[in-house]
Amino acid sequence: MAGEQGSRQVSTFCALCVARCGAKATITDGAFVALHPDPSHPTGQALCVKGKAGPELVNHPERLLHPLRRTQPKGAADPGWQRITWDEALDTVSARLLALAREHGPESVVFSNASPSTSAISDVVDWVTRLRRAFGSPNHCTYLELCAWGRMLAPMFTFGAAVPGEYLPDLEHAGCILFWGYNPSVARLTHATGTVAALARGARLVVVDPRRVGLAAKADHWLPVRPGTDAALALSLAHVMIERGWFDADFVRRWTNAPLLVRRDTGRLLRAHEVSPGGDPAHYVAWDEVAGEPAAYDPATSRHQVGEERLALAGERTIATQSGVVVCRPVFDLVVEECRRMTPAVAEKVTGVPAVEIERTARTLWEARPVAFYTWSGLEQHSGTTQIVRAIGQLYALTGSLDIRGGNVLFPSVPANRVDGPELLAPSQRARTVGLAKRPLGGARFEYVTGEDLFTAALDSDPYRVRGLVNFGANLVMAHGDSARGRDALAALDFFVHADMFLNPTAELADIVLPVASAFETEGLRIGFEISEAAQSLVQLRSPLVAPRGESRSDLQIIFALATRLGLAEHFWHGDVDAAWRHQLAPSGVTLEQLRAEPAGIRVPLSTRYRKYAEPDGDGPRGFRTPSRKVELYSEVLADHRYPPLPEFEEPPTSPRSRPGLARRYPLILTCAKSLRFCESQHRNVASLRRAALDQQIELHPDTALARGIAAGDWVRIDTPHGSVRARARLNGGLDPGVVCGQHGWWQACAELGLPGYPPYGPGSANLNLVLRQGPSDPVGGNSPLRSSVCEVAPLPLDEPTPA
C-alpha cells in the first residue's frame, strides 16, 4: 500500500476469467508491478497475458474513478457526464428503482452482469443474484445463452446435472481427452497445462474444432467440423461405436433409460398402468427377454422388476394394453435407428470431416477410455445448441466414463452456506420471468433472460415492458448479436445504472455510471477452484494488492450499499460484508481471520468418491436427477414440449445448404472465436495486449483469399445479409476453404500505441455482432447463431477509408 518501501511477493489468484490462475504479485514501494504464475497453487502452473497485464489494467489512465450522471438525452453524441458523489449516485439509483418497482412491479427491472467465465464478476455473481431476488425481480441477464447453456443447463435433459460444467474432466487420470468446441489455450490454462501433462504420460487427444489452433496441433485426431453441424458428427461417431460394439453395454443397460419401451402411436414411454390394471402410473416398462413379457421400472427406487441383464435393448414388441394393442420399441433401438441415418459417409458430406477419420476417432474413444471431455462456447452459439449438446451427451454415455476416475467427475467441495438467496423470491414472481412463456424449458425457468428476450421486452413490451436495468460490467450491445437493436433497447429504458472499470458502448447509454475497482484492488473470497480434488479443497481470500484508485469500489461494496439504500439491509447483514462472508464460510470450519492471515489460502481435506450414482439411497441406488433417475437418451420432458426426445441433427437454418439462394451471394460460413489476449470486448486499450493484435482480423484459407484478390494484412469488408464491417485478413491454412473466422468485441482505441477505435454501429465499424442476428435462436435455450452464419469477404473498396 502507499508508503511501503522495498519489494515483496503476495500470494493471490487472477480473477479475470474462470481459470482463476494461482499467482504471485510483486509489490514494489507500494505499487503493483508484476504478476507471475504460482506453481504451488493448484491452478498456478501458468498465467496468460491478460493476467500478466494486471498492473497496466490497474493503472490505466482511462479508468473510471468517480460516479457519473448523464446530463444529455439518450442518443446525444455526448452524454454530458457530470461527476457526482457516491451518496448522490446511490440515492438516485435507489429512488428510481423503488419507483419502478412501486409503479410497474419489481419484474420491470432486469439485473445483468458480465459472464462469470470471462470476467472478474465471478467474485460476486451470487451476490448480484441475491440482490435481484431480494428486490423481487425474476430477471437476470448473464450471457447464459452465449457462454453457459451448453455446459450447465442443456446437459440436464440427459444427465440431470451439468456435464461437463460441474462434472469436470479428470485430466490427471484420463486415457482419452475430448475437447469439443473448446480451446483451453485461450480459455482455461489449467486445462491446457493439464492436457500437456496427460499427453506426456500417454493419453490420447481428440479435438473437434473448425480451426486447427492450440492443442489441436498435438491431437491424435483433429476433426474440422463445419460450424453448426456438430450434432451430425456426434451421431455418426455414436453410430460407429454402436455398430462395432464399441460401447459400455453394461452402463447403457443399467444406468441409462435405454431399455424403456416407447409407444409407436404416441411417442411416449409406456407406463405400467397402461399394461396392468394394478400398475403404477409412475412406473415405466421395459421388456424382459427371459420371461417374454413386460417388466416394470420404478424411478423412485431406480430399480427394475427384474435384473437389468434380462432387459431387451432392441426389437419391436406388440403389447396388449388397457386401451388395445400397441407396438413398442426400446429407447436404445430408436437411438440406433437415428444414429444409423448418419453413417460416416453421410456425415462427411454434412460436416466436412472425412469418414475414415470418424471411424478412427470412434475407435480411439472406445479403446483409450476413460474419456474426459469438455466443451465451451464453440457449441453455445448455434440455433441447434440443445440438440448438439444432447447428441454429444449421448455419445459420452456410450463410453461409460461418467463419474469414474479419469472420466468426468463431480469432485467434492468444501461445505459452505448458499448466498444467492433462492428463498427471497416468491414463486409468483419467478413465474413472471421474461421469456418463460416462449421457452419454458430454457434459462427462464432458472430466472435467466437471454439478450434477445431482454431487447424484445424493452422495445416491444413482450411479455411486458422492461423499464430498468442494473448492470454489473456487461457490455451488452457488443456481446450480443443485433448490436443496433441492443442500443435501441437500452436507450428505451426508463432508467439504467451501469457499474464498470471503463466506459464502453453499453455504459454510454446509462443514466448513472458507477466506478468499479479491479480485482487486484479488492478482496475476493473463493471457496474451491474446480479443476481437481486438490483445487476444490482450497479456500482463499484474495488480498488487495493496492488501494482502489480514485473513488472506485468493489462490486460487492456497491451491492451491499445499494441493498441498504433499497431497504434490504436485513438480507445483507446490515451492510457488513465480513459478517456475510462469515456466514458463507461457517460450515467449512475456516474463519475469515485465518484466511486473512494466510493469503495463499487454507486447504480443507476432501476425498473424491466415484460412481456416486450407484451409491445406496433409500430402497435403491441414488441414480441421476432426471425424471427416470437414469441418464436419459430419450427425454420425455422434451417430448412433452414438442421438442425431439432423441438427439437428432437439423441443418443450421442459415447455411449454404439450408439457404442455397442466399449462398450465391454469401457463400462462406462465418464463425468466430475467442482471443487469448482480451476478456471478450474488454481491454483492447491495454498496450501490452493490443501490441500483438493491432486490428480486428478475419481468418481465411489462403485459397479463399487468393480467389478474392486478398493478401495477408489487407483490409477487407465482411458482408452478411445484415450489413458490412471491416477487418484485416489473416491467412490460416488450417481452415476449411469454405469457412472464415472473426472475433467479436472490437471498438476500443489504444491511445498509448496510437491505435484507433471503431464505431460500434454504422460505417467504419469493426463490430462483428453488428451484422449478426440473435435469431433464429435455439428453440429450447434461445442460443444465438453467432458461430454459424454466412458471409462474403472482399477487399475494402479504395474509396472507403481505412483506420490510420
What's the pLDDT at 176? Answer: 98
What's the pLDDT at 1? Answer: 56
Distance CA 572, CA 575 (A): 6
Quickly state the pLDDT bin for 801 (edges 50, 70, 90).
low
Distance CA 543, CA 293 (A): 66
Residue 253: CB partners within 8 Å, gap ≥ 6?
Answer: 259, 308, 309, 311, 313
What's the pLDDT at 327? Answer: 97
Average confidence (pLDDT) over 257-280 = 96
What's the pLDDT at 679? Answer: 85
Does the pLDDT at position 3 exceed 90? Answer: no
What's the pLDDT at 614? Answer: 97
Q: Max Cα separation, the chain?
A: 88
What's the pLDDT at 803? Answer: 60
Per-residue pLDDT reduced to its tens digit, 674-694: 888 898 899 999 999 999 999
Sign of CA dihedral 727, 731, 732, 735: positive
When the pLDDT of each residue in the chain is averaged and rounded to a whole number, the result is 96
Distance CA 739, CA 210 (A): 8
DSSP states of 79-141 as a string? ---EE--HHHHHHHHHHHHHHHHHHH-GGGEEEEE--TTSSGGGGTHHHHHHHHHHHT---EE
Q: Is the peptide bond before 737 cis (omega within 30 degrees of 0)?
A: no
Instruction: Give the 3-state secondary structure of 412-428.
Output: CCCCCCCCCCHHHCCHH
What's the pLDDT at 72? Answer: 96
Distance CA 425, CA 200 (A): 50
Burial (0-12, 13-18, 19+ Cβ within 10 Å), 355: middle
Q: Which three cell numbers stand for residue 140?
A: 437476470
Does the pLDDT at position 2 exceed 60? Answer: no
β-strand partners of 402? 408
Average confidence (pLDDT) over 336-344 = 98
C-beta neighbour count of 533 within 10 angstroms: 17
DSSP state of 631: B
Phi, psi dihedral angles at 180 (to 5 degrees): -120, 110
Distance CA 770, CA 425 (A): 36
> In Å, how far are 57, 153, 660, 661, 766 from 673, measured between CA atoms?
23, 22, 25, 27, 15
Per-residue pLDDT reduced to its tens digit, 703-740: 999 999 999 999 999 999 999 999 999 999 999 999 99
Distance CA 23, CA 51 (A): 9
Write out the H or E segment, with its range, that includes residue 365.
Answer: helix 355-367
| CA 495 to chain CA centroid, nearest Å | 28
Residue 541: CB partners within 8 Å, gap ≥ 6?
Answer: 523, 524, 525, 526, 581, 592, 595, 596, 599, 601
Return the ∠ at Cα 198 (arms to 192 and 200), rounded to 5°: 110
What's the pLDDT at 148? Answer: 93
Is-contact 29 6, C-beta < 8 A? yes
Q: Is the peptide bond before 667 cis (omega within 30 degrees of 0)?
A: no
Per-residue pLDDT reduced to its tens digit, 738-778: 999 999 999 999 999 999 999 999 999 999 999 999 999 99
Q: Which amino acid is located at 222 in the chain?
A: W
Sign of CA dihedral 273, 279, 283, 288: negative
Average confidence (pLDDT) over 286-306 = 96
Per-residue pLDDT reduced to its tens digit, 128-177: 999 999 999 999 999 999 999 999 999 999 999 999 999 999 999 999 99
Sign of CA dihedral 595, 597, 603, 604: negative
Per-residue pLDDT reduced to its tens digit, 630-645: 999 999 999 999 999 9
- Quick one: what percent of the chain has pLDDT higher than 70? 99
Does the pLDDT at position 407 exceed 90? Answer: yes
Phi, psi dihedral angles at 747 (to 5 degrees): -155, -30
| CA 203 to chain CA centroid, nearest Å | 26
